[in-house]
Structure 1
Amino acid sequence: MKILQTIPEFGALSGGTSTSTYDLLSTMNLVGYPIDLLTLQPKNPLDHLMGNGEEWIKAFPNDSLSPFRYSQNIRQFLLHKDYDLYHTNGLWLYCNHETCSIARKKKSPYLITPHGMLYPAAVKRSYWKKWPLLQLFFYTDIVNADCFHATCRQEMEHIRNFGYAGPIAIIPNPTVFPDFLDEIAQQKVAIMSQKRVNRFGFLGRLHPVKKIENLLYAIASLPDKHDCELIIMGKGDPDYEQFLRNEVTRLRLMNVTFRGFVSGREKYEELVRLSGLFVPSDFENFGMIVTEALSVGTPVMASLGTPWEDLNTYKCGWWVDRDPDSIAHVMEQIIHMPAEQLLEMGLRGRHLVMEKFAASQVARQMYELYEWLGANASKPKFVYE
């Protein structure tokens, strides 16, 4: 069965959607589930294409026009190459619509992974742009999809509430463990046995929906705020970053560091040094950074706007409200928690990630879904109708 995934952007600076797509497809191709990916080269000269030039990545020169990102290169490839099944990542852009439209014309099944784009808060953002696109293209694309892929039950509920009545597969994003992961994770014990430094962290795109300012307000309210640090890692909206820096100055916080964009081994080395990673977003579809932090034994606080109830269930973090008081309460718990207890939380988090989110397991589930959609297998248990 010939399968094509499509994604409008596949640059290293595009964020979690590109990363999770690459991790899934590289694993599938590695273990013998061949999948092609259609995309465009990044327009940003500071960006670069994900991967290492793999043959399965069909990346064409970026000829996209208008905010809708119409691309003749995308259209010509889809028109002249035939696949048995089509799978698009995201919504609202030409690449996504044309994938669905061409699949219908060729009478091939197609599925959509919205990557959180049908969460109510995400739909409301720039709705004046999305409404006409819905009327022209995307309502038809959505209701006629053969299947949707959600990364968690919460996202499935939002897809249903949007009006899609067909089958929905719940498959988490994959976690790829780098070769050096065990070596870095072993540093956790040594770090915790040294003089205690309560180091809190944020890692991700700097954007107002991430509510990073709530971390600043939380630290400012701590009676022992001078005994802890906040490391903010990532780049994004320049105006929002300046707002955060201004708040640091206004609150007279001397223990906040803006580390900028980190990746690769450096990212994991930063994560293992944290006492806790904080994800205070308004909403978050999955949050690859959660599994990455857990994989090196760092407990995580994630807001109720994220699908991370597992943090409470498996006792490897905190799934709580994102307001500054709730965040400050978690910080206080970490500050006063014995090192042995934090290490135990981290160990439970590592076990959760290894057992539930390993890339090889996720790849196998995705291929089971493809086989079912191609009428070659029975319906998987993770598909809900």
Structure 2
Amino acid sequence: MKILRIIPSMNPKQGGPCQGIRNSVPELERLGIENEVVCLDNPTEDYLGQDPFVINAIGESITPWGYNRNLIPWLMSNFNRFDAIIVHGLWLYHGHAAIKAILAFRKTNSTSPKVYAMPHGMLDPYFQKAKERRFKALRNELYWKLIEKRLVNQVDGVLFTCEEELLLARTTFGNYKPKREINVGYGIQPPPVYKVAMRKAFAQTVPQWNGKPYFIFLSRIHQKKGVDLLIKAYIKVEKELGSLPQLIIAGPGLENDYGKEMQALASASQNIMFPGMLSGDAKWGAFYESEAFVLPSHQENFGIAVVEALACAKPVLISDKVNIWREIVNENGGLVKNDTENETYQILKQWVLLGEDKQSEMANAAQGVYKNYFTIGQAALQFKNGINL
């Protein structure tokens, strides 16, 4: 069995979907499912050639829509090599190209691969309701009517990472009529075992670290992630209680306007640090040396970093807009509140006032959440069964 993944980019800085592919491929290979990727990347990019599976980089797109004239011809020439096609993400040319190509291919071929779309949270109603997204919401509404509903309703099935994502997708657009809705789950590879080199790498990357456990935010510095809520809440709790673990906000985006605003906002505290994007030993050191992971996101389809924290036995302090929040609450692997400034303040204060014994219990439970729900082995098997391979 062989799967083709269609995705705009395999750049690790793009986050979730490409990392999800990298997490799942080795386990799927063990189940006898070979994977290949086609993406709209420049083939000379240094992040290519590092993976144990084939990535066909057919050149950068030339428009914000992601148009690339090479994609449809490449698909038409290669469809017959695959049993299934997965389109990762929505709202860009690669999805339009995929459904256009497969319908044309089926006109002249008696057999063809099944085609699935995997939205990765992009059908979440948040994107149509957020005040700062009014223009984009209008654009998406028009795009849905003209183009995207064709993809979603004509593929053989739509794949979701969790039940919450599946249910939310039904509430966003009219004429949403997919042939099948399939919860294929999601998971991550086990984290590397802790080693002293991780602590050293992290310490070198964040020289302001005082050597004590801290709160770690590890994601893009973006408005959707609620970074402003976190900083304001942290400063308020710090003033109220006098002493708090340091707050380390790690991730790409510091050079953007929002990133600069967040750094200015955080200047009211000497205990908030922005080391930028972390990788390798420094990233895992950031998880292992922390006290708790925090993410007051306004929308999070799955949250790979959330699960990575759980796998490292770190409790997660998250909003209920992270779609896996129910599993975390059910297993006592963290604290969950709404995505407001006041409730972010409450979650930080509640954590501090729990005391060491309760915090330790929650840390043990956190790793249990990972083992019970989000191992890559469980996710790969659920994926295989979901698309009937």
TM-score range, shorter chain: 0.7 to 0.9
The 2-side partners of 1:42 and 1:14 are apart by 15
> Does the alignment pair 1:174 with 2:187?
yes
Question: 1:127/1:324 Cα in 2 relative to 1: closer, same or farther (>3 Å)?
Answer: closer
Letter in 1 for 2:16: G
Query: Aligned residue for 2:284?
Result: 268
Query: 1:42 Cα shift?
Result: 4.9
1:78 is matched with 75
Equivalent residues of 1:42, 1:48 under 8 A apart: no
1:22-37 counterparts in 2 under 5 A? 22-37=22-37
Evaluate the alpha carbon distance shift between residue 36 and residue 214 of structure 1 in structure 2; reply closer, same or farther with a 3 A threshold: same
Aligned partners of 1:141 and 1:364: how far apart in 2?
26
Distance 1:337 1:158, change over 3 A: closer
Q: Confirm whether residue 203 of structure 1 aligns to residue 218 of structure 2.
A: yes
Q: Cα distance 1:338–1:197, how it changes in 2: closer, same or farther (>3 A)?
A: farther
- Letter aligned with residue 150 of structure 1: F
Conserved? CA contact 1:268–1:293, under 8 Å: no
3-state DSSP class of the match of 2:388? Answer: helix
Separation in 2 of the partners of 1:225 and 1:100?
57
Question: What residue identity is the alignment partner of 2:298?
Answer: D
Aligned partner of 2:204 in structure 1 is: none
Residue 225 of structure 1: CA displacement?
Answer: 4.1
What's the secondary structure of 1:17's corresponding residue?
helix
Which of 153-162 and 333-342 deviates more? Answer: 333-342
CA–CA distance in structure 2, aligned partners of residues 9 and 30 of structure 1: 25
Partner of 1:119 in structure 2?
124
Contact 1:215–1:324, Cα closer than 8 Å, also in 2: yes
* Cα pair 2:301 2:322 within 8 Å, conserved: yes
| 2:92 is the counterpart of 1:93 | yes
Of residues 139, 157, 160 in structure 2, which corresponds to 1:150?
160
CA drift at 1:50 = 5.6
Query: Using the alignment, how far apart are the partners of 1:71 and 1:32 within structure 2?
Result: 32
Question: After superposition, what is the alpha-carbon deviation per residue over 1:307-348, rounded to whole angstroms, capped at 9, x for unaligned?
Answer: 112221101101211222222222223223332322221111
The amino acid across from 2:47 in the alignment is L
Aligned to 1:68: 65
**What's the CA shift for 1:56?**
2.5
Does the 8 A contact of 2:300 with 2:322 survive in 1? yes
Runs of 4 or more above 6 Å deviation = none
* Structure 2: distance between partners of 1:281 and 1:84: 37
Aligned to 2:308: 292
Distance 1:113 1:123, change over 3 A: farther
C-alpha separation between the residues in 2 aligned to 1:93 and 1:271?
33
Counterparts of 1:96 and 1:29, CA distance in 2? 25
2:335 to 298, 318, 325: 318
Q: 1:49 aligns with which of 37, 44, 47?
A: 47
Task: Give the TM-score, by structure 1 length.
Answer: 0.86
Q: Helix, strand or coil for the counterpart of 1:80?
A: helix
> Is the alpha carbon distance of 1:37 and 1:17 closer, same or farther for their aligned partners in structure 2, counting shifts above 3 Å?
same
Deviation for aligned residue 1:262:
0.4
CA drift of 1:92 comes to 1.0
Query: Distance in 1 between the 2:70 and 2:178 partners?
Result: 32
1:22/1:50 contact within 8 Å kept: no
What residue in structure 1 maps to residue 270 of structure 2?
Answer: 254
Counterpart of 2:57 (choices 26, 41, 59) is 59
Q: What whole-Å deviation, never above 9, does each CA across 1:110-130 have from its counterpart, x for those lacking one?
A: 111101111112246413443
Q: Which shows bigger deviation, 53-62 or 79-88?
A: 53-62
Name the CA shift for 1:327/1:115 in 2 (closer, same or farther; >3 Å). same
Aligned equivalents of 1:305, 1:27: Cα separation in 2: 28
Contact 2:184–2:386 (CA under 8 A) maintained in structure 1: no
User: Where do 1:124-139 residues align within 5 Å?
Assistant: 125=133, 126-139=136-149
Segments of structure 1 that go 5 or more residues without pairing to the other structure are 188-194, 373-385
Q: How far is 1:371 from its partner?
A: 2.2
The share of aligned pairs that are identical, in percent, is: 24
Gaps of 5+ in 2: 107-111, 200-209
The alpha-carbon deviation at position 198 of structure 1 amounts to 5.7
The 8 Å contact of residues 86 and 103 in structure 1, kept in 2 or not, is answered as no
SS at the partner of 1:371?
Answer: coil
Shift of 1:75: 1.8
Residue 116 of structure 2 aligns to a residue in which SS? strand
- What residue identity is the alignment partner of 2:95? N
> Match of 2:274, SS?
strand
Q: Please give the residue correspondences for 1:4-43 in structure 2 after superposition, counting only pairs within 5 Å.
A: 4-42=4-42
Q: 1:294 to 1:2 in 2, by over 3 A?
A: closer
1:117-166 Cα distance to aligned partner (Å, 9 max, x none): 11112246413443443233212111112111111222111222232343
Please show how residues 215-234 of structure 1 align to structure 2 within 5 Å: 215-222=230-237, 223-234=240-251
Matched-pair contact (CA < 8 Å) for 1:117–1:123? no
Report the more deviating stretch, 12-21 or 119-128. Answer: 119-128
Whether the aligned pair in 1 keeps the contact of 2:35 and 2:53 (CA below 8 Å) is: no
Pair 1:281 & 2:297 matched: yes
Amino acid at match of 1:71: N
Contact 1:299 1:349 in 2 (8 A): yes
Secondary structure of 1:228's counterpart equals: coil
Q: Structure 1: how far apart are the matches of 2:211 and 2:77?
A: 61
* Structure 1 position 3, deviation (Å): 2.5
1:344 alignment partner, SS class: helix
- Structure 1 Cα separation of the partners of residues 360 and 101 of structure 2: 51
Secondary structure, in 3 states, of the residue corresponding to 1:52? coil
